[in-house]
Chains A and B, each alone.
Chain A
Amino acid sequence: MKKIINDPKNVVSEMVSGLVRAYPQYLQKIEGTEAMIRSNEASMIDKVGIISGGGSGHEPAHAGFVGPGMLSGAVAGQVFTSPTPDQIYEAIKAANHGKGVFCVVKNYSGDIMNFDMAKELAEIDDIEVKMVVVDDDIAVEDSLYTQGKRGVAGTIFMHKIVGAAADKGATLAEIDVLAQKVMPNIKTIAVALSGATVPEVGKPGFELADDEIEYGVGIHGEPGYRREKLKPSKELVQELLSKLKDAFDMKPNDKYAVLVNGMGATPLMEQYVFMNDTLDQLADENVEVAFTKVGNYMTSLEMAGISLTLFKIEDDEWLSYLNYAVDTIAW
């Protein structure tokens, strides 16, 4: 393991400390927790609070998306481990300005259980909490052996949509309806070139040979659906896009937002090449690309690889939310 850290046990607290000290204009640490709340309190008054969170190791998610127009706060768990209910509860309390709090939770059993417990605690205080469970990863099919799909990079589209709606004054109930409507229209699939090493574990979660790739890997290094030899970008796009086309039942004139997301160690240069090929192939399908984004948004430590997210725009209001002005570290 080769990492710029001190004691692996302190990685998360030292990261949170560095983050809030670097960006005090965006983030404040909630004392006694690894949760962060938006510094600009005035921008939250009379609005529904939006909280996201999950394990650390996915930076800039989630604290990087805290700011006016997006998240009210973010909770950082241990690396690849859900945050605890007491910390989520503190973030919910800090984000509540009398209109309730909406939580964006990725579909992992730990995240759901901890957010559920936090919700129960907040309800004792009469804070109304609703949540959406993001399950955009189509790599592992919903079948007898799974409890549904994983939540990955598409989560940042969800942050953007509900954050914009909240900023425009939507009620908690309206945000909930919007989020549940949007969710089935966000789908993601990834390809990994190498694994990620959790600092406290010290060795990679999985290993690939120098010339080998794996399709469908999750953001914690969960296994994908196939391993094979590395191919040119065009062919990788073809493979991932074929899965997305099937999942969406893609038709000419469909309208999509496209996110090419780096997993941590893949240079932007390669991400732009990948986006170039993606846009070529989407043009061949005669679909309209209404919004694009490339970069490291939902990473997996030092994993090399890329995920491709398509968000089918069924309502032009969703597009206006994607383009809605925000002020955050990372969007």
Chain B
Amino acid sequence: MLTIENTTKWFQLFSDKIIENKDYLSELDTPIGDGDHGNNMARGAKAIQELLKNQQFDTLSDLFKNVAMAFIKSVGGASGPLYGTAFIEMSKASKETSNPTELVATGLDGIKRRGASDVGAKTMIDVWTPVLEELKAGQLTIEKINADVEATKALVATKGRASYLGERSIGHIDPGSMSSGYLFETLLETGALE
């Protein structure tokens, strides 16, 4: 179950991971996007770090909402609204539940709505969807997350800027899928799923 404590830790670990891998995320974005995914996500990660340093939260919903707003205000691009919408949906749902599987499910619905997209378009949805299944089965592991991210290599982009490359996008990991991989990897590290 998610608590204010382990969710705070989750976003701390996620932010650290993003900042650590900023250059790698931008590198992934260079052949199939515009090379800024790392920089954009790092701006959001720093905003989250600032938020967590300076503010206390009374409820899980409040925490998700503030993280969402910090992210939306600082990131821009497509990642800002997509992650931001996911966290807003998780904020709404966390008024009723603290079950991470249910929260990830509402987040995924938000991403699909905001991006007007679905599985198979070589986007972050292609990591969130299998991860949700693995969460439901109680079998989420770091190996599975890595495999989910790696699997985006084989997909043809039909959404976002990478879509302009069509089949030339095959063979590259989708950068939004990689950053989503970090999100779930750090969720595992919090121990909230144990």
Contact = CB atoms under 8 A, between A and B. Distances in A.
Interface of B, secondary structure class, is helix
B80 A114 contact: yes
Given A85-B72, A145-B166, A109 B78 contact: yes
B153 interface: no
A147 B2 CA distance: 37
Contacts of B165: 145, 223
Given A84-B75, A114-B76, A114-B81, A147 B163 contact: yes
Contact of A81 (B36, B84, B159, B163): B36
Nearest to A79: B36
B72 A117 contact: yes
Contact of A110 (B26, B72, B73, B77): B77
A77 interface: yes
Interface stretch (A128-136, A198-206, A281-289, A305-313): A198-206
Contact of A201 (B35, B82, B114, B164): B35
B39 A77 contact: no
Contacts of B136: none
A49 interface: no
Contacts of B81: 85, 110, 113-114, 116-117
Contacts, number: 104
B158 interface: yes
B34 A146 contact: no
B129 interface: no
Interface stretch (A17-25, A182-190, A214-222): A214-222
Given A110-B81, A113-B81, A84 B73 contact: yes
B30 interface: yes
B95 interface: no
Contacts of A147: 158-160, 163
B73 A150 contact: no
B66 to A, nearest CB: 14
Most interface-central of B39, B43, B114, B164 (chain A CB within 10 A): B164
B76 A84 contact: yes
Given A198-B36, A220-B34, A221-B34, A84 B167 contact: no
A145 B157 contact: yes
Interface string A292-309: 000000000000000000
Contacts of B158: 144-147
Interface in A106-125: 108-110, 113-114, 116-117
Most interface-central of B34, B72, B78, B158 (chain A CB within 10 A): B34
Interface in A161-178: none
- Interface size range on A against B: 20 to 34
B47 to A, nearest CB: 11
Contacts of A143: 166
Interface in B86-128: 114-115
Interface in A249-279: none
Contacts of A321: none
Contacts of A194: none
A36 to B, nearest CB: 17
B98 to A, nearest CB: 26
A34 B167 CA distance: 37
B166 A78 contact: no
Nearest to B165: A223
A80 B80 contact: no
Given A145-B156, A145-B158, A200-B39, A84 B80 contact: yes
A113 B78 contact: yes
Interface of B: 26, 30, 34-36, 39-40, 43, 72-82, 84-85, 114-115, 156-161, 163-168
Interface of A: 55, 77-86, 108-110, 113-114, 116-117, 140, 143-147, 150, 198, 200-201, 205, 218, 220-223
Query: Which 5 pairs show the lowest CB-CB distances between chains A and B?
Result: A145-B166, A110-B78, A113-B81, A110-B77, A81-B76
22 contacts: A77-B76, A78-B36, A80-B36, A81-B36, A81-B40, A84-B72, A84-B73, A84-B74, A84-B76, A109-B115, A110-B80, A113-B81, A113-B82, A114-B80, A144-B166, A145-B157, A145-B164, A198-B36, A201-B36, A205-B30, A205-B35, A222-B164
